[in-house]
Structure 1
Amino acid sequence: MPDGHLLEELCVHVDAFEKMKKLKLLKLNGIRPCERLTYLSHELCYLDWDGYPARFFPSNFYPKNLVHLRLHHSQIKQISMGIKFLEKLKFLDLSHSLYLDKTPDLSCLPCLEDLNLEGCSNLIEVHLSNGVHERLVRCNLSKCKNLRILPRSINLKNLQFFTLAGCSKLEKFSEIQGNMVCLEELHLDNTAIKDLPSSIEHLEGLRRLSLEGCQKLKSVLTNIFSKMKDLEYLDMGRTAIKKLPSSIAQLSNLEELYVSGNDFQSPSSKMPISLMQNTFLRKRTGNSSCLELELLSGLCTVTRLSLRHCNLSEESFPKDIGKLSSMRYLILSENKFASIPECFIQLTSLMYLYLEHCTSLRSLTSLPSFICYVNAHGCKSLERYQFPPSVENSDDREFIFTECHKLDVDQRDNMPNISSQSQLQELGVIILPGREIPHCFSHRNEGSSFSLRVDLPSYENVKGIVVCAALEIFHGIDIPQINFDLKINGYSMSEWFTYNDLTAGDNAPHHIFLKHKTEYYDEHSREIRPIKSLMDNKSTLSTGTSNTCDGCHIQASVTLNSTLLKPSSNRKAKVHKLGIHLVMEEQA
């Protein structure tokens, strides 16, 4: 539409389509008729009217060729007018139609494949005909918050996807009859279902089953999963279940298991963990005894494991966690252990470790060499950390210690990893509390940029360069992007970093950001080369220009891109100071 015309200002004349006898496609968005529409073409194959404004269709509308009907956010109350002529309809979308109080009789829609009634909040009952249909493939009844009644039984042999998520007043799920092996996804999240019918075990083709937030579901039958050999995803989080069913051990293809927010009274039956490969376990509340953590020792192929908020202490920590040789992601946030066990060093594949808000954690050591990311945001008791020398390129490593007040660099400049020139080379990026550049940085400057000329007789012993910036970031400032740029003899290397945890409170606005650089990507040769090759005054840069000056010219800058969340605030994120340090091989 032309600029300045709002869709809600436009309207269709009552007889606008009266002469369009052969109209096959009609798609409108937010356009309303001046009065009740009197005519729509019987030849329509595709009707998409977002915000259809009438309660009913025109009484003389007989859409015998209609295949696609979408009335999203409409005011339709019933589509009974002419429904006996919808023999070719395959796609019916009446989602978020707040006045719809009855589902159509699906027996009059023999070709229907996709039914979407999401968000129809006035819908109370699903028509009995919906329990039996030959061609229905997808059925979306999610967020129908007043839906209470389903068909007593269903036999939808071609159904592949079925969701009732968010139907908060639905207390009973239908019995399964006949052959429904095509059903792959069933979502019952946040319903009021109190139990599951025993016939649900016949859904042998099920791949994803979600019961998350079914807070009235107190138990499930022991053998409920015995026939679901293809199940890959199972979410039973935030239910009232007190014990996991033993048949969960028979889910030989299970990849993800979520049991977050449950309060199990006794440990679950032991499961053959060899059948639980690549399982991702999560639990956010309750006692750590709810899961038999010793079972973790059998998860030899697990790649992701989350034990967030499991009340873990040193005593309850899984003793054999070091046997998880394939572990890459480990989430231990919001637990109460003071240190991690020494067996962590056996996790040779571990790359990502999350420890946010482990407020009792005091020491962080015994980490494997391949570790490349550690997030310890909010570990307020942390006093000591030590990372092993990386066996890979240390430039890619990243360690976050925001709101770890006892690691304040200004008070603890003798701490490991930034106390000596040799230990600096173990870092890629590290963020710590503090406002001063550490003493080991011999070259310092006020502001966000620094230019340094180094006169050395030889550059062969240069291992890398570390740049340190003192940041000030106040509460009310959106997630800042840290832009890092390093130039050596005119060759620029730029990177940027975004951190969710750099929105510190007013009482701790100061951080230091350290970035270690040992290599760069040569665009001319398309190779990764050591950074010291740029410092050789005889080297030729990718630009084709030769550095003929004596010495080496180094330029560094760190800037912050941020957005004020409080427009009234006049405080901005700042870079106050910058430091540069050359790490030499002979000091390693």
Structure 2
Amino acid sequence: MASTPTHTNQYDVFICFRGEDTRDNLTTHLYASLCKNNILAFIDDNLTRGEEISPSLFKAIEESKLSVIIFSPNYASSRWCLEELSKIMECKRKNGQLVIPLFYGVDPSHVRNQTGSFADAFVKHEQVFKKQVYKVQSWRESLREAANISGWVLQGTRGELDSEFVEKVAVDILNLLRNMNQMSNKPRNGRIRKTITEWEKGRFLGLGWFGPVYEGISNDGFFFAVKEISLLNGGSPAQESAYQLEQEIGVLSELEIGVLSELEHENIVQYHGTQKDSSNLYIFFEYVSMGNLVTLYQKYHLRDTQVSAYTRQILLGLKYLHDQNVVHRDLKCENILVAASGSVKITGMGFAKATKWIDVRSIMRSAFWMAPEVVNRKNHSYGLPSDIWSVGCTVLEMLTSSNPYSELEPVQALFKIARGIPPDVPGFLSNDARDFILQCIQVNPEDRPSAALLLDHPFVKKSEAELVEDIVNDVVRKLNRMFPCEECRVHFSISNLINKSLVVETSTNRLELHDLIRDMCWGIVNEQSVVQHRTRLQNPEDVRYVLMKKKGTDLIEGICLDISKARRMHLDSDSFVGMDRLRFLKFYSAGSSVNCKEAIHLPSGGLQYLSDVLSYLHWEDFPSKCLATNFCAENLVDIILTQSKLKRLWKGKQDLPNLKRMDLSGSKYLEKLPHLSKARNIESINLRQCKSLVKLPSSMGNLDKLEVLILDYCSNLTTLPSIGKLKSLRHLYLLRCFKLECFPEITDSMTSLYTLRLTGCRKLKSLPHSIGNLRSLENLDLEETGITVLPRSIYQLKNLRWFYSSANADLQWSQPIGLWSLANLSSLERIDVQGNNLETLPESIIQLPKVKILNISSCKRLRFLPKLPPSLETLRANNCDSLKTYLNNSRSSNLSSINFANCIKLDQQTRTMIITDMLSNFEINQVSSAATILPGNEIPQWFHCQSEGPLVTMKLPSNCGGFSRIFFCAVLSGEEPKRRKFSGLTLFCGFENAKGDTENDAGNELETLEEVGYSDLSTCTHYADALKLDHLVLWYTNKFQEFFNKFRGEEVCFEFKDPAKYSKVKRCGVCIIYDEMDGESFGNSSKRSSSNDPEMGTEGQQLKRPKQS
């Protein structure tokens, strides 16, 4: 490959601009400000307009560390600007040059999509360059690529605004350049830790709680913020000031200063240390140029998308703090800063305390953001959930541009908060925003989700661009791990690709480089015409030529071959001889694995040689029994030999000091693993379906960095080594290890294990009592094991969230063990005991505060269900043949999915109560959708529209503004089932207007559901056995508002059907509920407001089936 030339940086910054738009205002100010800060900037101010761009200008671009592109309304009309832009983006791609756009009086979307004035400019370019279409297209691509980079936006074009804005831009550029210069000082977590000794105080930035905040500059030109706190009161030290200092930042506590100094996260303002003289204390922090969120929402009206982006970063920073057991205690918009790039920085960390060291009792916050437990701080402390309340208040503040409880005085707000009255959430906010805020401001701290859980909320879900960034960062980490000596080059090069369209999703859910990017990279490689002189090989024919003709040289560093696209190759034992610098070898299949069997043949003796510097070895369907006899594996980082014919990896012992990952899954002939005593850095071992393995090396028990161990389907594995020293192990999978008879003892050091799956270990009769030492265990799967008795110590698993023990017919559930012990586990969220011999559940199960899913289906001996936890959302009790009675506390239930299919002995009183509870759930808890299935054949009377068969019609009122919910009901026939399983029910909605036109909206076809619950449009798919008698399916949803508004006053036809046509709908009904209806309307059809509405249609009325589109 032709080497990329390196350029000496003659300039710090190259400024690309449209002269007639910005020369006399923004550009002049920016250039002057950069020069004032000793930044050497290149500005083209001398060449005559109309000349061809000289090589000297291109050279100036190449020799600059950073390019600033000022996009203005007439930028695209200049061919000169577009040529400069293309060159800048070329340098970004090839040399990793940093590029920052500045949008001046133009919307970034106009630049990105070439709309507005940019569209007009390109109409002219396409006329002028008719014979050079590729040039115009390259300009478009450069604009799109540049506009996707985070930069500065200045909508105004008034001169007086420029100087105010430019100063912030110049400071950001200065810090970027200094960060680039100080790259060698970057610690492992990527943050720059500055030590400030000599410094000078600059301009006033703002007023903090205990003193002013100034801009500061160190003796080496590093900018930072400095908080100045006076230690004097009337000329003498003040005890009160000292006390306040201790409370605010812990100056008098070295422990708390230690906490501050250890906090390093991209969304936390970095602490740079303190200095003190006879009169003042100075605290140094990272300087963030754009001010706090209060300044932003006062200046701009923040949109949902902006608030969502800021909130996600706040949660990331808060999750980091909470992972360190640190409570912020003063989270609000005033304490959240924003950089010009849009990056959020949480400040106010002087108020934070480490909860594992200090009891958090003192109130140091502003009244409007306080959580109820903070206000009512009697005889107990508050902790991490108080910050979640503040997050909700902060989001509310950003979206409304005012404090929560803004209509009240602080004392009044405190009184209201103390009574548990949350702030009002306006109805004009989006549904996602409202739901996010309401989850945060729940009065009970235990009901609030953690910061980690909130990161999965729809309101703050990552955008596609952020997901791409995460993927690229993950690639960077893996490359740095493989090539540690080149960490800086790898990080710098790839981080500059983050904002491009790098990744596409294939039909097999794989993420790959975009075709254009990949082709460009290989095009550069293939510029070297002599195949064996290339550094990397990917083309199947090139790889075939080099290996079969033995043309390998020490120039080749990587081989990547999709063997599903290659012709069959018969290699010799010395095919890799000469490739002494081969570091990357990947033979993989992106197509059918059937076509890859024996795609590469090796002689019976295997390979003679592999490079000793090989760090990544990935060879699917490896055809030999052993790797090269003289192969030295000490540089291996990843070894992936899936579906191989290996019997052992190599003969003799190998030191594996760099090995991180070993994946030998599917190697069904593998009999023995190598000695792993020196592989102390290994993090993941996958031996799934290694069916010939009988035992594992004892050295595996000493791998203290091992995080994942997968032994699924090792069907001949009889024993496990001691695992007590695997202190980093997080996931242990032993599914279908049919011959495993004994589980090893657990020591106190196994504090990281999160998942333990033992599904199908039929010979495993018991668990050790030491299982209680797994204090971090969250997922315990004992399905289809031979375990008969659970150890008493299981109650010690305080963090257990998911417990699976289905199909364990021999498991004894008598007191004081079994499920009665599980009732003590307050973190449980899912209990699955399907197919067990339970006769009843303990009454204490109602004490579980977090359980959401309970699966007791096919428990044939179960007769009675007690009151269940109010947190429960899904109950699966289908096929419980003996179940007669079910009690529930309807006034506090969150149940949205109830399955009593084939519970044929369920008494009538219980059936009526289940429906009544569902209505109460709707009235009280306002769950957006819920459904149930149970034996029955009578549709409740309050369904005002009923019909025989699968269709029912009604006329919508002309005003659907008060719509709240719509209830559906269907009677399914239990006669002559055509198959063993009931596939589910789908609702199809068709609309027909007065003209006879029909419309079928795909959004109205309700999808069948996952096994664990219901989709947003809540139909019933329960996977019950064939229905033994008629069943009633009843559900409601609030998802039809949009369609009702669209078709108000029209005839509406609802059709109920089983998409697989295995179930018959005998009767069906619909009932629309409006906000003005009271609770009595459900029970008495004569009182419901809808029945008196002449537009609601006639009971039993039918229309023809709507046309299928």
Please classify the TM superposition score into its range, dividing by the shorter chain length.
0.7 to 0.9
Correspondence for 1:17: none
How far apart are the structure 1 equivalents of 2:867 and 2:1045? 41
1:253-268 matches, within 5 Å, as 253-263=752-762, 267-268=766-767
Q: Does 1:585 align with 2:1079?
A: yes
Distance change in 2, residues 1:54/1:308 (3 Å): same
TM score, norm. by length of structure 1:
0.72
CA contact (8 A) 1:464 1:584 kept: no
C-alpha contact (below 8 Å) 1:252/1:275 kept by paired residues: yes
* 1:148-173 alpha-carbon deviations (Å, 9 max, x no partner): 56433232222111022222222222
Q: CA 1:349–1:400 in 2, change beyond 3 Å: closer, same or farther?
A: same
Contact 2:775–2:798 (CA under 8 A) maintained in structure 1:
no
Partners of 2:754 and 2:650 lie apart in 1 by 31
Q: Secondary structure at the match of 1:250?
A: coil
Looking at structure 1, the residues matched to 917 and 854 of structure 2 have their Cα atoms a distance apart, in angstroms, of 24
Find the aligned partners of 1:52 and 1:403 in 2 and give their Cα distance: 64
Whether 2:882 is the aligned partner of 1:381: answer yes
Decide whether aligned partners of structure 1 residues 484 and 250 sit closer, same or farther in structure 2, where only a CA change above 3 A counts. Answer: farther
Q: Does 1:416 align with 2:938?
A: no
Q: Which amino acid aligns with 2:951?
A: S
Give 1:42's aligned residue: 532
**Cα deviation digits, residues 193-245 of structure 1 (max 9, x gap):** 22222222332210011223333332234xx2232211101123433333222
Select 1:516's aligned residue among 1020, 1029, 1036: 1036
Q: Which runs of 5+ in 2 are unaligned?
A: 1-522, 589-595, 923-929, 992-1000, 1012-1020, 1084-1109
Q: Once the two structures are superposed, what CA deviation does each residue of 1:538-581 show, in whole Å capped at 9, x if it has no partner? A: xxx978x9x9x9xxx9967354472x5xxxxxx56554422245
Bigger RCO (CA 8 Å, 6+ sep): 1
2:561 alignment counterpart: 70
Question: Does residue 93 of the first structure (1) align with residue 590 of the second (2)?
Answer: no
The AA in structure 2 aligned to 1:123 is S
| Letter in structure 1 aligned against 2:756 | L
Tell me how far 1:346 sits from its aligned partner: 0.8
* Structure 1 position 429, deviation (Å): 0.5
Contact 1:474 1:504 in 2 (8 A): no
TM-score (norm 2): 0.40
User: Could you tell me how far 1:68 is from its partner in structure 2?
Assistant: 2.5
Matches within 5 A, 1:213-292: 213-221=713-721, 224-239=722-737, 240-247=739-746, 249-263=748-762, 267-271=766-770, 273=772, 275-289=774-788, 291-292=790-791
Q: Is the 8 A contact 1:378 1:402 kept in 2?
A: yes
In the other structure, the counterpart of 2:848 is: 347
- For structure 1, the residue ranges without an aligned partner over 5 or more in a row are 1-21, 27-38, 524-533, 535-540, 565-570
Q: Where do 1:312-327 residues align within 5 Å?
A: 312-315=811-814, 317-327=818-828
Aligned to 1:496: 1006
User: Does structure 1 residue 198 correspond to structure 2 residue 702?
Assistant: no
Which moves more between the two structures, 59-68 or 150-159? 59-68
Letter in 2 for 1:59: K
1:449 paired with 2:952, answer: yes
Aligned residue for 1:432? 934
Show the counterpart of 2:577.
84
Which of 365, 373, 396 is the equivalent residue of 2:866? 365
**Which residue in 2 is equivalent to 1:114?**
616
In structure 1, distance between residues paired with 2:969 and 2:1035: 7
| Match in the other structure for 2:551 | 61
Whether 1:303 and 2:303 are equivalent positions in the alignment is no
Give the residue type in structure 1 aligned to 2:954: S
Deviations along 1:23-60, one digit per CA (max 9) or x if unpaired, are 9449xxxxxxxxxxxx9822344433569997994426
1:15 corresponding residue in structure 2? none
- Name the larger-Rg structure: 2
> C-alpha displacement at 1:299, in angstroms?
1.7
Q: Which residue of 1 aligns with 2:682?
A: 183
How far is 1:504 from its partner? Answer: 6.6
**Deviation at 1:277?**
1.9
Deviation per CA, 1:64-113: give whole Å up to 9, x if none. 43323315245233264552332343332334451534697596423422
Single out whichever of 442-451 and 474-483 deviates more from structure 2.
474-483
| Secondary structure in structure 2 of the residue aligned to 1:516 | strand
- Conserved in 2, the CA contact under 8 Å of 1:219 and 1:241? yes
CA distance in 2, matches of 1:298, 1:143: 40
Task: Provide the C-alpha distance between the structure 1 equivalents of 2:652 and 2:784, rounded to a whole number of angstroms.
Answer: 35
Q: Counterpart of 2:987 in structure 1: which amino acid?
A: N
Q: 1:495 to 1:253 in 2, by over 3 A?
A: farther
Distance in 2 of aligned mates of 1:333 and 1:84: 58
**Distance across 2 between alignment mates of 1:572 and 1:274:** 50
The offset of 1:295, in angstroms, is 2.1
User: Partner of 1:4 in structure 2?
Assistant: none
Structure 2 match to 1:401: 900
Deviation at 1:345, TM superposition (A): 0.6
The aligned residue for residue 531 of structure 1 is none
Paired with 1:422 and 1:182, the residues of 2 have a C-alpha distance of 55
Change (3 A) 1:505 1:268: closer
Partners of 2:936 and 2:673 in 1: how far apart?
A: 57
The match for 2:442 is none
Amino acid at match of 1:325: S
Task: Confirm or deny: 8 A CA contact 1:207 1:230 kept in the other structure.
Answer: yes
Q: Structure 1: which amino acid aligns with 2:537?
A: L
2:979 paired with 1:475? yes
Q: CA deviation at 1:254?
A: 0.5
| Preserved CA contact (<8 Å) 1:361 1:381 | yes
Contact 1:24 1:43 in 2 (8 A): no
Query: 1:55, 1:76 within 8 Å by CA — same for their partners in 2?
Result: no
SS at match of 1:92: strand
Q: 1:280 to 1:175 in 2, by over 3 A?
A: same
Offset of residue 397 of structure 1: 0.6
Q: Please report the RMSD computed on the Cα atoms of aligned residues, expressed in angstroms.
A: 4.3
Summarize the Cα distance change of 1:507–1:341 in structure 2 as closer, same or farther, 3 Å threshold: closer
CA deviations 1:406-431 (Å, max 9, x no partner) are 45xxxx65433557656533372112
Q: Would you say the 8 A contact 1:118–1:142 is kept in 2? A: yes
Amino acid at match of 1:299: L
Identity level (%) = 19
How many residues of Structure 1 are paired with residues of Structure 2 in the alignment? 504
- As a proportion of its length, which structure holds more strand? 1
